[in-house]
Chains A and B, each alone.
Chain A
Amino acid sequence: MVHKIYLIAKREFITRVKKKSFLVMTLLSPILILLFYGLIFYFSFNKDLTDEVKTIIISDHAGILNEKLEPTKTIQFEFNNGLEESQATIEIDEREAYAILFIKKSEKGITYDLIGKEQASIGVVSTLEDKIEQALKDQQLQQNGINQELLAQINKTRIDVQTRKITHEGIEEGNSGLTTAIGYIGAILIYLFVFLYGVQVMRGVIEEKTNRIVEVIISSVKPFELMMGKISGIALVGLTQFLIWVGLVAVLSGPVSALVLDLMQVNPTEISQQMQEAAKTPAAQQSMKAAKQSGPEIFKGLENLNLPLILGMFIFYFISGYLFYGALFAAIGSAVDNETDTQQFMLPVTMPLIFSFVLAQTIVTNDPNSSLSIWLSMIPFSSPIIMMVRLPFGIPTSQILASMAFMILGFIFTVWLAARIYRIGILTYGKKPSYKELAKWLLRKN
C-alpha cells in the first residue's frame, strides 16, 4: 500500500514540478511579494511627497487659537477670522483651499464646523482635531505657569515597557513584539499553505474525474491510496516551493529593502513615527513595538523563546493542518464534476480557516490565554493557526499535548470521512450531490 501511495505521490510531484508554471510561480512569487510590500511601504512613507499639501482656512470667531496652529506635513493652516459661512465657496475657490473651519461660540459651548467642497477624509479630520486639542492643552498649561521649555521637555517623555514572564526557572525576559511576529509568520504560512495546496488537491481530483482516468487508476490501486498519494504528493510540491521561497527571500530581502529605503530617502526614526500613526489594530501595534526596539534590543528575549519547540510545533501543525483540510478538499473534488459546482461545499471548509485566521490577528493576539483562545487552539479546525500565534507566549505543556492529540484525531477523522466520500464520489457522474446524499455515501458499503 505504501509503495502505491509512493508511486502516486511521485507522479503528482514530478508532473507538477516539471510544469513551467511551477518554475515561473516559484521564482516570480517572492519577487512579486517583495515588490508588493516594497510598493506599499514606498507609498505609505512617501505619502507626503506624493500628496499635495492641503490648505485649511480657519475662521476663528471664538478667538481661541490666537491665530497660531502648527502646520503638519500634509496640512497648512491660514487664518481669516472675518469670514462668514456664506463666503465659504468663494473663499475656497479663490485661495484653492481644501476646506474652511469655522470656530464659533454658542450657548452649548464652542462648535467646530469644517466646510469643504468634498467630504473631508477621516485622516484630515483626526489630524485637525489632534492639532487643535494639542494647541488648546498647551495654552492651558502655559496659563498655569508652565513655560515653553518645560512643555517641550514634558512632551519628550517616552517610556518603553519591558515584558518579563514568570516560569519555573525564575523570571525570564520576554519580548512580546518579536513573539507575536514569530507566531504570526507561522500562522500565515500555515494558512497560505493549507489554502493554496488544498485547492490544488481539489482541482487534481476533479481533473482525474473529468479525464476519466480515475477508473483505470482505481482498478490498480485503492481509492484511499490514490487520495493519500495525491495529498502527499501535492504537499511535497508545496514544501519544495516554500523552501525555495524561504531561500530566495533570505537572499533577496537584504538588497531589496536597502533599495527601498534608499528610494524612500527617509531615516528610520521618521519611519517609526509614521508607523505609529498608521498603527490601529492590536496586531499592528505589536509589530510596531518590535520595530521600535532598535538594534540588538529586538533580539533580546530571543534566547528565552523556545525556538526548537516553536519550529517543531510549526512543522507538526503545518503538516497535520494541511492533511486535515487537504482531505476535505479531496472529498469536495470527488463529489463534483467541475469546479463551478464546488462553491456550495467549499464554504463550510474555508469558513473556519478564514475565521481562525482573522481571530488569530485580533482576539488571540490581544489575549493569548483567554478561554476563547484556549478553545480555539484545541479545535482542529482552527488549532493549527491559533496555536502558532499562542505558542510563542508560552503555554502549558498539557495544552500543547491536548491540542496535538485533538489535531491527530481530527485529521484521522477527516481523512476517514473524505475517503468514504471519495471512493463513491470519483465514480459518480452527473447531478451535483446534496449534503444528504453525501451523508448516505458515508454509510454506504463499498
Chain B
Amino acid sequence: MILSISNLSKKYQNHVALNNITIDIPQGIIFGLLGPNGAGKTSLIRILTQITEADSGKILLNGIPLEPKHIRAMGYLPEERGLYKKMQVADQLLYLAELKGLSKQEAKSRLKYWVDKFEIKSWLNKKVEELSKGMQQKIQFIGTVLHEPEIIILDEPFSGFDPINAQLLIDEILLLKEKGTTIIFSTHRMDSVELLCDQIALINLAEKILDGNVPDLKKQFKKNQFELSYIGQINLENLPLEMVSVVQKNNLNTALIKAKEPMSNKQIIQLLLNTDINLISFAEKLPSMEEIFIEAVQQKNN
C-alpha cells in the first residue's frame, strides 16, 4: 500500500467532515474518491496534502507516518484552479517546483520534457493572463506533475476542461499510471471516472460507505439483469426469467430481463436460444456507479 488511511476523523465547529475513515490505496493504480458535494472528499484531500490536520487517525505513506517532507511526494490539482496571473509561465512552473523542494536545475530539465511534449515553447515567456483557459489548465497540470510526485491528487479534474483537453488529461494520467504513479481522483460525477478507476471509495456524509475494485463492486451490486435485442415473440413463462421492460421499434425488441436465481451468462443464453426468438444481442446489465452509490446509501440507512 502506498497510502493507508486508518480511522481518520475531522470535525469542524458545526459539522463532522470525516468520520472514522479507513482506506487503503495500492501503488500504481487510479483510485476514485467518489461522493456527492459536501461528502468530505476535499477535507480528506486537504489532510492528505497536509494543508490541514486530522483530529484523529493515522496516515501512512509507504508505511511511514505522513510528515512535512512528504509534500514532495504529492502533486495536487485543487478543484478551484489558479495561477499567478501576472507571472510568466516558465517562472511560475519553476517556482511551483522549487516550492516542492526541487533545485532550479532539476526543475528546468523536467520542465523541458513537458515543454516538448505539450509544444508550449512559445508560451513560456507569456504571462498567464495572456493564455486561453485551456492553455492555463495545461500549465496548471504541468505544475501539478512537474516535480514527479509518487501520488497525484486531482480534485474534480474534468470540471472546466473542454473535451479535447479532457482527453489529453486522460492520456497523460494513463501514461503516468504506466510509469507507476498512483493517481487519486475525487469527483461527484461518478460516471466520469468509472472507466478510469481501478479502485474506488464511496463517501457520503463524512463516512466511507463502500470501497473496493470496480469490477468486484459491480458484481456485488448486480441485480442479475440482462439486456437483449431480438426479433420475434418471446415466452418466458416456463423459464426462470422475468421481463422487466421491453421496447419495440421497427420489429426489433429491446428488453431487460431478470434472472429469478443467480445464473451464469452461458446458462441464460442457452435458455434464450431454446425459445423461438431470433437473438440479435445479449449483454449482462451491470449497475452504474451511481446506482451502486444510491443502493449503498440506502443499505446503510436501513
Give the B-binding residues of A (Cβ under 8 A): 4, 7-8, 11, 15, 19, 208, 211-222, 427, 440, 444-446
Q: Is B82 an interface residue (CB 8 A)?
A: yes
Q: Is B83 an interface residue (CB 8 A)?
A: yes
> Is A216 a contact partner of B78 (Cβ separation < 8 A)?
yes
Q: Which of B50, B81, B98, B143 contacts A7 (CB 8 A)?
A: B98
> Is B71 a contact partner of A220 (Cβ separation < 8 A)?
yes
Complex Cα spacing A220 to B86, Å: 21
CB-defined contacts of A427 to chain B, threshold 8 Å: 46, 51-52
User: What are 18 contact pairs spanning A and B, CB under 8 A?
Assistant: A7-B99, A8-B99, A11-B95, A15-B86, A15-B87, A211-B83, A211-B84, A211-B85, A212-B81, A212-B82, A213-B82, A213-B84, A219-B74, A220-B99, A427-B52, A440-B13, A444-B13, A446-B53
Complex Cα spacing A220 to B140, Å: 15
Q: Could you tell me which residues of chain B, from 76 to 93, have a CB within 8 Å of some CB in chain A?
A: 76-78, 80-87
B interface bracket (residues with beta carbon within 8 Å of A): 20 to 34
List 4 other contacts, CB 8 Å, given A213-B84, A445-B53.
Answer: A214-B82, A217-B99, A220-B99, A427-B51
Q: Is B9 an interface residue (CB 8 A)?
A: no
Given known pairs A7-B99, A11-B95, A219-B74, the reply for A446 and B52 (CB within 8 Å) is yes
Q: Which of A7, A213, A440 contacts B83 (CB 8 A)?
A: A213
Give the A-binding residues of B (Cβ under 8 A): 13, 46, 49-53, 55, 68, 71, 74, 76-78, 80-87, 95-96, 98-100, 140, 143
CB-defined contacts of B96 to chain A, threshold 8 Å: 216, 220
Complex Cα spacing A8 to B96, Å: 10
Question: How near does chain B come to A211, taking the closest CB pair, in angstroms?
Answer: 4
Name which residue of chain B comes closest to A4, CB basis.
B99
CB-defined contacts of B100 to chain A, threshold 8 Å: 220
Residue from A217, A219, A222 with most neighbouring chain B CB atoms (10 Å):
A219
> Is A219 a contact partner of B85 (Cβ separation < 8 A)?
no
Name which residue of chain B comes closest to A19, CB basis.
B86
Q: Nearest 7 A-B pairs (CB), nearest first? A: A212-B82, A220-B99, A213-B82, A219-B49, A212-B80, A215-B78, A219-B76
Instruction: Tell me the interface secondary structure of chain B in the complex.
Output: loop
Complex Cα spacing A440 to B13, Å: 9
CB-defined contacts of B46 to chain A, threshold 8 Å: 427
Complex Cα spacing A358 to B100, Å: 46
Name which residue of chain A comes closest to B10, CB basis.
A445
Question: How near does chain B come to A425, taking the closest CB pair, in angstroms?
Answer: 13
CB-defined contacts of B86 to chain A, threshold 8 Å: 15, 19
Complex Cα spacing A220 to B143, Å: 12
Complex Cα spacing A32 to B44, Å: 54
CB-defined contacts of B53 to chain A, threshold 8 Å: 445-446
Q: Which of B52, B82, B99 contacts A221 (CB 8 A)?
A: B99
Name which residue of chain A comes closest to B82, CB basis.
A212
Q: Which of A214, A216, A222 contacts B143 (CB 8 A)?
A: A216
CB-defined contacts of B51 to chain A, threshold 8 Å: 215, 218-219, 427
Given known pairs A219-B71, A220-B71, the reply for A15 and B55 (CB within 8 Å) is no
Name which residue of chain A comes closest to B95, CB basis.
A11
Question: How near does chain B come to A424, taking the closest CB pair, in angstroms?
Answer: 9
Question: How near does chain B come to A105, taking the closest CB pair, in angstroms?
Answer: 77
CB-defined contacts of A222 to chain B, threshold 8 Å: 68
CB-defined contacts of A445 to chain B, threshold 8 Å: 53, 55
Complex Cα spacing A15 to B92, Å: 11
Name which residue of chain B comes closest to A441, CB basis.
B13
CB-defined contacts of B82 to chain A, threshold 8 Å: 211-216
Name which residue of chain B comes closest to A429, CB basis.
B80
CB-defined contacts of A219 to chain B, threshold 8 Å: 49-51, 71, 74, 76, 78
CB-defined contacts of A216 to chain B, threshold 8 Å: 76-78, 82, 96, 140, 143
Complex Cα spacing A7 to B100, Å: 11
Complex Cα spacing A118 to B84, Å: 59
Name which residue of chain A comes closest to B75, CB basis.
A219
CB-defined contacts of A218 to chain B, threshold 8 Å: 51
Question: How near does chain B come to A233, taking the closest CB pair, in angstroms?
Answer: 12
CB-defined contacts of B99 to chain A, threshold 8 Å: 4, 7-8, 217, 220-221
Name which residue of chain B comes closest to A226, CB basis.
B99
Name which residue of chain A comes closest to B46, CB basis.
A427
Question: How near does chain A come to B49, taking the closest CB pair, in angstroms?
Answer: 4
> Is A215 a contact partner of B80 (Cβ separation < 8 A)?
yes
> Is A7 a contact partner of B95 (Cβ separation < 8 A)?
yes
Complex Cα spacing A446 to B71, Å: 17
Complex Cα spacing A440 to B49, Å: 24
Question: How near does chain A come to B229, taking the closest CB pair, in angstroms?
Answer: 49
Question: How near does chain A come to B190, taking the closest CB pair, in angstroms?
Answer: 24
Residue from B51, B80, B87 with most neighbouring chain A CB atoms (10 Å):
B51
Name which residue of chain B comes closest to A427, CB basis.
B51
> Is B95 a contact partner of A212 (Cβ separation < 8 A)?
no
Question: How near does chain B come to A253, taking the closest CB pair, in angstroms?
Answer: 34
Complex Cα spacing A7 to B103, Å: 11
Complex Cα spacing A407 to B84, Å: 34
Complex Cα spacing A222 to B68, Å: 9
CB-defined contacts of B13 to chain A, threshold 8 Å: 440, 444
Complex Cα spacing A221 to B98, Å: 11
CB-defined contacts of A440 to chain B, threshold 8 Å: 13
Question: How near does chain A come to B10, taking the closest CB pair, in angstroms?
Answer: 10
Complex Cα spacing A208 to B140, Å: 15
Question: How near does chain B come to A96, taking the closest CB pair, in angstroms?
Answer: 61
Complex Cα spacing A212 to B74, Å: 19
Question: How near does chain B come to A431, taking the closest CB pair, in angstroms?
Answer: 14
CB-defined contacts of B95 to chain A, threshold 8 Å: 7, 11
Question: How near does chain B come to A17, taking the closest CB pair, in angstroms?
Answer: 13
Question: How near does chain B come to A419, taking the closest CB pair, in angstroms?
Answer: 14
Question: How near does chain B come to A226, taking the closest CB pair, in angstroms?
Answer: 9
Question: How near does chain B come to A70, taking the closest CB pair, in angstroms?
Answer: 65
Complex Cα spacing A159 to B71, Å: 74
Complex Cα spacing A388 to B281, Å: 90
Complex Cα spacing A15 to B87, Å: 7
Question: How near does chain A come to B41, taking the closest CB pair, in angstroms?
Answer: 14
Complex Cα spacing A244 to B208, Å: 60
Complex Cα spacing A258 to B73, Å: 65
Question: How near does chain A come to B269, taking the closest CB pair, in angstroms?
Answer: 52
Question: How near does chain A come to B109, taking the closest CB pair, in angstroms?
Answer: 19
